[in-house]
Amino acid sequence: MNEVIQLIRQHRSIRKFTNTPLTGEQIEAIVEAAQMAPSSAHMQPFSIIGVTDRELRKKIALHSENPWIDECGYFFIFCADFHRMMLAAGPDYQDKMSRNLNYSYFYQTSVLSAALALQNANLAAQSMGLGAVIIGGINSALPELDEWLDLPDFVIPLVGLAVGVPDEFPEQKPRLPRSAVFFENQYDRDLKVQVDKYDREIEEYYGVRTNNKQKVSWSGKFISKLDRDLPLGGYTQYVKSKGFDLK
Amino acid sequence: MNEVIQLIRQHRSIRKFTNTPLTGEQIEAIVEAAQMAPSSAHMQPFSIIGVTDRELRKKIALHSENPWIDECGYFFIFCADFHRMMLAAGPDYQDKMSRNLNYSYFYQTSVLSAALALQNANLAAQSMGLGAVIIGGINSALPELDEWLDLPDFVIPLVGLAVGVPDEFPEQKPRLPRSAVFFENQYDRDLKVQVDKYDREIEEYYGVRTNNKQKVSWSGKFISKLDRDLPLGGYTQYVKSKGFDLK
C-alpha cells in the first residue's frame, strides 16, 4: 500500500489540539495543495480565508457554537467564489455572466470545486502530522461572516477547516458497507438489510466508546437531527442574496 | 516534501488512456479511499456507480459528448445520495426528513460530501500510477442516467471520474496567484491587477502550447463559455424533481 492510500485510510477528524500555532511553511503547503485541485474549465471558483485575528476567531467560534475554531492551530474558511471571475470579465460581460451564474448549476460547480480544494488541504495537513476537522457550523454566522470578512457578492463561506497539532487519537468510525455505497451499472434499491446491519454496527461502536451511555445507531443519529423543524429556510435566501439565484 | 504533497503538486487531468482496464484491486482501493472521506454527521450522503457495461458507457459518452467516458480504463459516477438515509429512517420519519432535505442546505451538504469522496478517489488512483479526469458533462444526460442506472429519488449524478493508465503527460496549467485566492482575515476586493497579470500568463501558456493558434486568456476562456444564454434552466427543475426542493 502506498503512502497516499495509507494516509487516506487512516483518516480521523481531530477535535482536540495542542496549543501550537501552525508554521508559515505548513500554512503555505496547505494552501498550495488546495490550489492544485482540478476545477471545471480551470475556473478555480473558490477562495480561502485564513482567520488569524484572535478576536475574530473567538467571535466566529461563539456564533458557530464551535470551540475548535478558537482552539485549533490555524483556522481556514473555504468559500465558493465567482467574484474574481466577474471582476476579470469586466463590465462588458458582467450582465450576461451574472445571469448565467444565477443557475443552480454554477453554484453547485463552485461548491464542488471548493470541496476538492478542501480535501487536498485536509490531506496535505494530515500528511505533515497535523490533525484537522471540517466545520459546517459556520453556516449559523453567514451574514456576520460577510461583514467581518468583507465578502463581496458571489462569495459564500461554505465550511471551516480547523487544523492543529493533534492532542487525541480517536478510533475510526466504521463506514457503510461497500455494497451499500458502490454499485455496478445499476443502483441497488434493496439496501434495507445492509443498512439495518450497519445501524447495529454503529450502535455497538458508540456503545463501547461511551460505556453504553450513548448507544445510538447510524440512522438514530441523523433522525434525531432531521426529525424536527430545522430553521434552514434562511439558507437559500442567503445564497440568493449573494447573487446565486438557484433558478 | 512528503509523498502526499508531492502527488498533490504534480496533479494533471489525464484525457488519453492506454487500452488497459483497471484491475479489481485498483477499483477496490479507489472506492475504499472514497469511503474514508469525512462527511457531515457521518451521514455519508453519496454513492458511486461504476459503469462497466460497454453499451451503457458508449451511450453515456455519446449523450455527454465526452469520448473519455468510453475510452478510459474504468468509469465512475459520483452521486449525491440521501435515498439510503430515507430508507434507513423508515416510514415513521420519512415525512419530516424529506421536508428538511428539501432545504438547499442539505443538497449542498451532499454535493460537498460527494466531492470530498471524489477527491480521495482521484488521488488514490493517481497514487497507483493511474491518470484521471473529472467529467461535469454528464449533466447533459440526467433523465437518461436516472433511467439507465435506475436512480431513485434523492440520488443525483454529479460528475464522472474517468480513470485509466495514462497515455499522455500534459503540462501543468498555472494556478491563480496565491494572493488572489488566499486572504487573511479579510477578503481583498482589489484583485484586478493580479487577475489581469494571470490572464496574460495563461494566454502565454496556451500560446506556447498551440503555436499561437489558440492564445486565449483565463477570463477569455470562461467569458466565451458564459457570455451567451446557456440552456441550464432545466438543471434546477431536475434537482427539484429528485426531491431536493432547494427551498
pLDDT tens for each residue of A29-54? 999 999 999 999 999 999 999 999 99
Give B230's pLDDT tier (boundaries 50, 70, 90). confident
For A118-127, write each residue's pLDDT tens digit. 999 999 999 9
**DSSP-assigned letter for residue B156:** E
Helix (H) or strand (E) holding A192, with range, is helix A192-209
For A51-81, write each residue's pLDDT tens digit. 999 999 999 999 999 999 999 999 999 999 9
Grid cell 500568463 is found at B201
- How many degrees, rounded to 5, is the angle at CA A88 between CA A83 and CA A40? 70
Give B185's pLDDT tier (boundaries 50, 70, 90). very high
User: How many residues make up chain A in this entry?
Assistant: 247
State yes or no: ipTM above 0.95: yes
- Structural domain spans, chain B: 3-171+232-241, 178-216
C-beta separation of B46 from B114 below 8 A: yes
Which among A28, A46, A49 has a CA at the least distance from the CA of A38? A46
Which among B154, B92, B221 has a CA at the least distance from the CA of A39? B221
pLDDT over 90 at A198, yes or no: yes
Which among A53, A10, A38 has a CA at the least distance from the CA of A149? A53
For A142-196, write each residue's pLDDT tens digit. 999 999 999 999 999 999 999 999 999 999 999 999 999 999 999 999 899 999 9
What's the rounded Cα separation, in Å, for the pair A213 and A240? 43
Average pLDDT of the segment spanning B42-51: 98
Average pLDDT of the segment spanning B45-67: 97
What's the rounded Cα separation, in Å, for the pair A230 and B103? 9
Average pLDDT of the segment spanning A208-221: 91
Helix (H, G, I), strand (E, B) or coil at B187: coil
Class of domain A3-170: alpha beta
Amino acid at A92: D
Average pLDDT of the segment spanning B20-40: 98
pLDDT value for A212: 87
Give B225's pLDDT tier (boundaries 50, 70, 90). confident
CA of B21 vs chain A CAs: smallest distance (Å): 15
How would you class A196 by CB atoms within 10 Å of its CB: exposed for 0-12, middle for 13-18, buried for 19 or more? middle
Amino acid at A191: L
Give B176's pLDDT tier (boundaries 50, 70, 90). very high
Residues near B231 by beta carbon (within 8 Å), at least 6 away in sequence? none
Residue of B136, B223, B228 lying closest to A89 (CB–CB): B223
**Under CATH, domain B3-171+232-241 is a member of which superfamily?**
NADH Oxidase (3.40.109.10)
The two most distant CA atoms of chain A are separated, in Å, by 64
Give A25's pLDDT tier (boundaries 50, 70, 90). very high
Q: Are strands A182-184 and B46-51 parallel, antiparallel or unpaired?
A: parallel
C-beta separation of B139 from A43 below 8 A: no
CA of A237 vs chain B CAs: smallest distance (Å): 8
pLDDT over 90 at B226, yes or no: no
For A99-115, write each residue's pLDDT tens digit. 888 889 999 999 999 99
Q: Where are the beta strands (DSSP E) in chain B?
A: 46-51, 74-81, 131-135, 155-164, 182-184
pLDDT value for A54: 97
Which among B115, B98, B102 has a CA at the least distance from the CA of B45? B115
Amino acid at B29: A
Task: Please check whether residue B87 touches A, CB under 8 A.
Answer: yes
Q: Are strands A155-164 and B74-81 parallel, antiparallel or unpaired?
A: unpaired
Task: Please check whether residue A119 touches B, CB under 8 A.
Answer: yes
A 145-204 residues inside an 8 A Cβ radius of B: 149-152, 155, 158-159, 173, 175-176, 178, 180-187, 189, 191-192, 195-196, 199
What's the rounded Cα separation, in Å, for the pair A194 and A188? 11
What's the rounded Cα separation, in Å, for the pair A125 and A133? 11
Neighbour-count burial for A43-57, b at 16+ CB within 10 Å, e otherwise: bbbbbbbbbeeeebb
pLDDT value for A232: 83
